[in-house]
C-alpha cells in the first residue's frame, strides 16, 4: 500500500512524522516522503528509505506549484500510490488536487496552529473534489472537515518537587523565513553571558541559539541558524528550559521530550508572521497547562525560572489517527 507523505519543512514535517507513526498498521505499507531538502528533513527522515526532495513552494507561489506538478506525475507513475497525506502548507496544492483527480484517496490535515479556522491552503483544497479534509480541533469539525485526532493529545503539565538550577537552555526560532529578532534582543540580557539569570544563580548558563533566518549581527551570541533535527531533539531533551516561537514543530518536539516550553508567539503587527495564529495556538497550549505564553514585551527572568519548574508527561501511547476510508 504505497502512501505518499508530502509537506513543507518545519512544523508541518514534524506533525506529519508524528501522524505517520500513529496510522493503523495496514500491513505491507510502503511510505514515500516528499519535502524540501534541508538539514531538518535530512535528519528527521534519515531512516526512511524513500525520500524525494522537491522544489520549494512558498505561499501563493504559482510557479512553485507548477514546478512540482511533473514530479507528482512521475512519482505517481513510479509508485502507483493508494493514499496521499499532507499537513501542508502550500506544497500540498501541487500534489493533492492532481492525485485526487487521478483517483487516489487524498487526505489534508490542517496544522494544529489553526485553531480559529482554516489555513489558506485548506480553504483552497475544500473546493477540490475528493480531498478529505481534517482539523486537529474538535470545535472546527463541521461540514466537510473531519476530526481524526491531534498531535497534542494526551499531554499533561506537572510541577517538579524541587526547582532545578537552570544550566542548559535551548532557544529555537524554527525554520520560518521571517525574522524574529525581538525575542533574541529580549533574551540576551537575561540568559546571555553575564546576564540576569547567571547573576541570580551564581553560575553560567549554557544556551543553544537556533536562530533560523533571523539576523544576529551585533548580538553577543554563538548562533546556529539551522540544526539537524536529531541534534536539536537531543539538545531539547537535555535542556532545563526551552524557549521558542510558538511554532507547532518546536512545541511538539519539546512536549514529546517532557519539557514545558515557554512560547513567545511571533506578531503580525511587527511583520514577524502573516497573521496571529501563533498567539492563538500558544494561548490554547497555555489553557491546557502544557506551556507558558509570553510576549517579548512582558517576558521576565521569573518567567524562565517558573517554566523550568514544570514538566510534561503523556499518559500511555497516543491514540491512532484514523483517516476516512
What is the model's pLDDT at position 28? 63
**What's the rounded Cα separation, in Å, for the pair 92 and 85?**
9
Average pLDDT estimate for 204-223:
96
pLDDT in tens, 56-80: 998 889 999 999 999 999 999 999 9
Q: Give yes or no for residue 320 having a pLDDT over 90.
A: no
**What's the rounded Cα separation, in Å, for the pair 240 and 223?**
19
Average pLDDT estimate for 90-98:
97
What is the model's pLDDT at position 27? 65
Tell me how many helices (H) and strands (E) the chain has: 11, 15
Handedness of CA 6, 10, 14, 15 (dihedral sign): negative
Nearest to 131 by CA among 169, 158, 93, 167: 93
Alpha helices in 113-220 (DSSP H): 120-125, 181-191, 196-201
DSSP per residue over 11-68, as a string?
Answer: HHHHHHHHHHTTS---SS--EEEEE---HHHHHHTTT-S-EEE-----TT-HHHHHHH
pLDDT tier for residue 294 given thresholds of 50, 70 and 90: very high
Cβ neighbors of 232 (< 8 A, separation 6 or more) are 170, 172, 210, 253
How many Å is the Cα radius of gyration of the chain?
Answer: 20
The CATH number of the structural domain formed by 3-147 is 3.40.50.2000
Q: Which CATH number fits domain 156-314: 2.40.160.20, 3.30.70.100, 3.40.50.2000, 3.40.50.2300?
A: 3.40.50.2000
Peptide bond into 89 cis (omega under 30): yes
Q: Please answer whether residues 135 and 141 qualify as being in contact, where contact means their C-beta atoms are separated by less than 8 angstroms.
A: yes
Question: Are 3-147 and 156-314 equal in CATH topology?
Answer: yes
Nearest to 243 by CA among 172, 158, 160: 172
Domain spans in the chain, listed from the N-terminal domain onward: 3-147, 156-314
Amino acid at each position: 500500500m504505497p502512501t505518499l507523505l508530502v509537506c513543507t519543512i518545519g512544523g508541518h514535517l514534524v506533525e506529519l512524522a508524528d501522524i505517520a507513526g500513529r496510522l493503523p498498521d495496514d500491513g505491507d505499507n510502503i511510505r514515500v516522503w516528499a519535502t524540501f531538502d534541508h538539514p531538518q528533513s535530512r535528519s528527521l527522515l534519515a531512516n526512511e528509505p524513500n525520500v524525494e526532495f522537491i522544489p520549494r513552494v512558498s505561499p501563493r507561489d504559482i510557479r512553485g506549484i507548477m514546478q512540482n506538478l511533473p514530479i507528482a506525475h512521475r512519482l505517481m507513475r513510479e509508485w502507483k500510490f493508494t493514499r496521499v497525506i499532507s499537513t501542508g502548507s502550500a506544497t500540498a496544492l501541487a500534489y493533492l488536487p492532481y492525485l485526487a483527480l487521478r483517483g487516489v484517496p487524498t487526505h489534508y490535515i490542517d496544522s494544529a496552529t489553526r485553531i480559529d479556522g482554516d489555513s489558506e491552503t485548506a480553504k483552497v483544497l475544500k473546493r477540490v473534489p475528493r480531498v478529505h479534509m481534517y482539523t486537529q480541533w474538535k470545535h472546527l469539525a463541521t461540514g466537510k472537515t473531519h476530526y481524526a485526532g491531534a498531535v497534542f493529545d494526551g499531554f499533561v503539565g506537572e510541577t517538579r518537587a524541587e526547582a532545578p538550577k537552570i544550566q542548559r537552555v535551548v532557544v529555537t526560532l524554527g525554520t520560518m523565513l521571517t525574522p524574529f529578532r525581538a525575542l533574541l534582543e529580549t533574551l540576551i540580557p537575561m540568559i546571555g553571558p553575564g546576564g540576569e539569570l547567571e547573576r541570580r544563580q551564581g553560575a553560567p548558563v549554557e544556551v543553544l541559539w537556533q536562530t533560523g533566518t533571523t539576523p544576529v549581527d551585533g548580538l553577543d551570541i554563538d548562533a546556529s541558524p539551522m540544526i539537524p533535527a536529531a541534534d536539536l531533539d537531543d539538545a531539547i531533551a537535555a535542556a532545563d528550559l526551552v524557549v521558542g516561537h510558538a511554532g507547532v514543530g518546536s512545541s511538539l518536539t519539546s512536549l514529546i521530550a517532557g519539557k514545558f516550553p515557554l512560547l513567545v508567539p511571533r506578531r503580525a503587527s511587527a511583520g514577524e508572521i502573516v497573521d496571529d495564529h501563533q498567539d492563538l495556538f500558544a494561548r490554547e497550549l497555555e489553557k491546557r497547562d502544557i506551556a507558558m505564553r509570553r510576549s517579548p514585551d512582558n517576558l521576565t527572568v521569573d518567567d524562565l525560572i517558573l517554566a523550568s519548574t514544570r514538566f510534561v508527561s503523556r499518559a500511555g501511547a497516543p491514540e491512532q489517527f484514523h483517516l476516512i476510508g
